[in-house]
Chain A
Amino acid sequence: MLSSVPESDTVIVADLEAGIGTLTRLPEASVQSTLVVVEPTPRSIDVGQRAALVATERHQGHITIVANKVADEDDVNRVRDSFAEFDVVAVPEDRVMITADRQGASPVDVDPDAPAVKAIGEIAMKMIAAQ
């Protein structure tokens, strides 16, 4: 489906299934950018490493690792050390994300100035600038 979406000025943000299943089935070079979201935990990093490998092998555009829910610099470094050859950006652990999840709401509507929301906003602007 994603590979058949026509190219246009519209930005498509595709939330793929958890794990790497969709990524392994996605035709080569279907996207211009891949965000691999990982928590600073061994299991999450392991899945993220496999996802980054598949995305690289299948030429799924520029790959950015999002170190999500990081509590401190040690968390960020744990992710950086595991993805040495990739761009790593950090999104801080933020109560707003939990609150939004519990309310079934968008974090943007709960608090647009929350640190995590602002960090993801900066990722968005960087992606557009790098286009």
Chain B
Amino acid sequence: MKIAVVGKGGSGKTSVSGVLARSLARGGHSVVGLDCDTNPNLGLSLGVGDLETERLLSLRDQIDEGEQEHAHTWDDILEAYGTDSPDGVRLTVVNRIDNPEPD
């Protein structure tokens, strides 16, 4: 099942995403959090902390700058560019641009 979470900036969509993912995992489901935001903060709402969130963003930057090779399959992406959050939610960041335009 794939769930998209959308909303205006400041609506609380990332907090909702994080709590939703953690709740599903606590309910016994295998869950992946996919951070597609141009200002990626899902890691914080999932509880992985500042340092790990920044590490994931750095990995994405290295890919964008050609310093890291792209992973070619979904499983490879989760393995190479993901991290485990509390309750077992696997998190990966798939988009980042600096200075995102306000919505």
Binding site for B on A (CB under 8 A): 1-2, 4-6, 9-23, 26, 30-39, 43-44, 47-48, 51, 55, 60-61, 66, 68-69, 91, 97, 100-101, 104-109, 116-117, 120-121, 123-125, 127-128, 131
Q: Which of B4-35 contact A (CB under 8 A)?
A: 4-24, 26-27, 29-35
Given the complex, which residues of B lie within 8 Å of A101, measured CB to CB? Answer: 15
On chain B, the number of residues with a Cβ less than 8 Å from chain A's Cβ atoms is 51
Interface centre among A18, A31, A48 (most CB of B within 10 A): A18
**What is the CA–CA distance of A1 and B7 in the complex, to the nearest angstrom?**
19
Q: A10-B30, A125-B23 are in contact. Are A106 and B47 (CB under 8 A)?
A: yes
Given the complex, which residues of B lie within 8 Å of A43, measured CB to CB? Answer: 8
Q: A11-B1, A104-B49, A124-B23 are in contact. Are A2 and B36 (CB under 8 A)?
A: yes
Interface of A, helix, strand, loop or mixed by DSSP: mixed
The answer to whether B4 and A17 have CB atoms under 8 Å apart is no
**What is the CA–CA distance of A20 and B103 in the complex, to the nearest angstrom?**
8
**What is the CA–CA distance of A125 and B13 in the complex, to the nearest angstrom?**
18
Of the candidates A13, A33, A105, the one whose C-beta lies within 8 Å of that of B47 is A105
Q: A18-B8, A18-B9, A105-B44 are in contact. Are A125 and B1 (CB under 8 A)?
A: no
**What is the CA–CA distance of A108 and B26 in the complex, to the nearest angstrom?**
11
**What is the CA–CA distance of A116 and B1 in the complex, to the nearest angstrom?**
24
Of the candidates B33, B35, B44, the one whose C-beta lies within 8 Å of that of A104 is B44
Given the complex, which residues of B lie within 8 Å of A37, measured CB to CB? Answer: 5-7, 11-13, 16
The answer to whether B2 and A33 have CB atoms under 8 Å apart is yes
Q: Would you give the shortest CB distance from B14 to chain A, in whole angstroms?
A: 5
Given the complex, which residues of A lie within 8 Å of B11, measured CB to CB? Answer: 18, 37-39, 44, 47-48, 68
Of the candidates B12, B29, B36, the one whose C-beta lies within 8 Å of that of A14 is B36
